[in-house]
Structure 1
């Protein structure tokens, strides 16, 4: 059988877990990083052969109890434990009924969501879809992101902003392997990927970003999964100078939709520029 998303995830997380993190002694020479398959199997209470077949895509989907054992063996956090179960469920569905073509996403935002965005008019605020496409933004956010409405559709995406746009290239802190907005966005995309097997548009997005950004490719290969969280956005912009903006993320009732709100420090040049953009009728917004 060919490699499965479940097997790829298990292998990636096994290789990322250091023996010391699993309470094991790193005695002897190890040919590959992380734990051995046998060590994961012992910790999970299953046979080494069974676990090897799971990674290789040669084993039927295990029960929830076995998945929980494997999650504990790999020290998975709650979001990644849920992601593991979703991968298994989708693999079970594909085995039973064959590939499933995902439904098209409706781009329409609710009136309540648009009203919320208009209310958040003193700071950059924007709405993203499940693949972090930019669906709507206010004037300060338009300034911060160099007017997305003026660029090709595939560039109107928060991942592209962080990993591929010219300003993004000057802010490597946004693409660190741990604790960065880039790491969180890739984890969010990976989680979304589990729920949309066979989504060709999503596959094209991943290929495009991987080809243009080695940093994205490295984060994607880590197989971390989870929802986007609040954090810090490092900004280098000709009208803002170098700034660090705190941001928060609000989950919307529509599945996979989020509002990002960036907060400039009091008294900063960025806050003054954002207020000026709000008052300038020549600046644009998409709400």
Structure 2
């Protein structure tokens, strides 16, 4: 049978949970497959091994909420991934609406916020991390997105495909900006199963970046949060920028704001480019 998103998620998470992490005794000899066995997950979830196998194989109709909660506990899923599991199974899923031809304008108050950050790169992203607006320091950091083709005006492209963003620290399997962005995109994907534009984005990034493809196949889900960006940029003397993420009232939109170390040449460069031509930019 064709692979289902629910089955793929369950298999991926089961294969990455070691027996000792799940509190199971390790047996002598090698296991044929990594992670937990199906019957071990089923026993921990309080369901039959056959029922769980049908879920992974896409042969079982939508399971109930308590069954999903039992599976989530068995696989040690955190809150966002527990919610993601329910959405994959069809619980509380919003119908996929067609994407608008043009994204709604970024409000003037948000643009003004970007402009006040005179020495801090800051930009607004949409649900799939398209860059909707950015201040002049962010333009310097990202090599002037307004001069790039549309598909490159995207934070995922910046992190995974741009030469300045190709740093191992950005692409680690956990605790990196790359892992955070992919987990957020995966969560958004569950709510829009028929969004062909989103599917095209995932296919393009998977083809262009083996690191993106590997993270996508981990099937983690969550929201973007603060972290560190590793950069390689001729105008900056620092290789790490701390950043924070602020959710906006508009669904799926966030402000990313980066902070260069005080007294660094990077902070001076950001302040200087802001003074040259104040005001945020956009596509």
Please give the range of the TM-score, normalised by the shorter of the 2 chains.
Answer: over 0.9
Kept in 1, the 8 Å contact 2:87–2:93? The answer is: no
Counterpart for residue 18 of structure 1: 18
Counterpart for residue 282 of structure 2: 286
Kept in 2, the 8 Å contact 1:251–1:259? The answer is: yes
1:68-217 equivalences under 5 Å are 68-89=69-90, 102-105=97-100, 106-169=103-166, 171-217=167-213
RMSD, matched Cα: 1.9
Counterpart for residue 50 of structure 1: 51
2:138 counterpart SS class: helix
Counterpart for residue 59 of structure 1: 60
Kept in 1, the 8 Å contact 2:96–2:191? The answer is: no
CA–CA distance in structure 2, aligned partners of residues 283 and 237 of structure 1: 22
Pairing 1:263–2:264 present: no
Assess, with a 3 A threshold, how the Cα gap between structure 1 residues 138 and 282 changes in structure 2: closer, same or farther: closer
Give the Å deviation of 1:283: 9.5
- Name structure 2 gaps, 5 residues minimum: none
Assess, with a 3 A threshold, how the Cα gap between structure 1 residues 135 and 78 changes in structure 2: closer, same or farther: same
CA–CA distance in structure 2, aligned partners of residues 235 and 162 of structure 1: 9
Kept in 2, the 8 Å contact 1:173–1:234? The answer is: yes
Assess, with a 3 A threshold, how the Cα gap between structure 1 residues 219 and 21 changes in structure 2: closer, same or farther: same
1:20 counterpart SS class: coil
Which has the larger helix fraction? 1
TM-score by length of structure 2 reads 0.94
CA–CA distance in structure 2, aligned partners of residues 60 and 283 of structure 1: 53
TM-score by length of structure 1 reads 0.93
Kept in 1, the 8 Å contact 2:114–2:280? The answer is: no
Counterpart for residue 4 of structure 1: 4
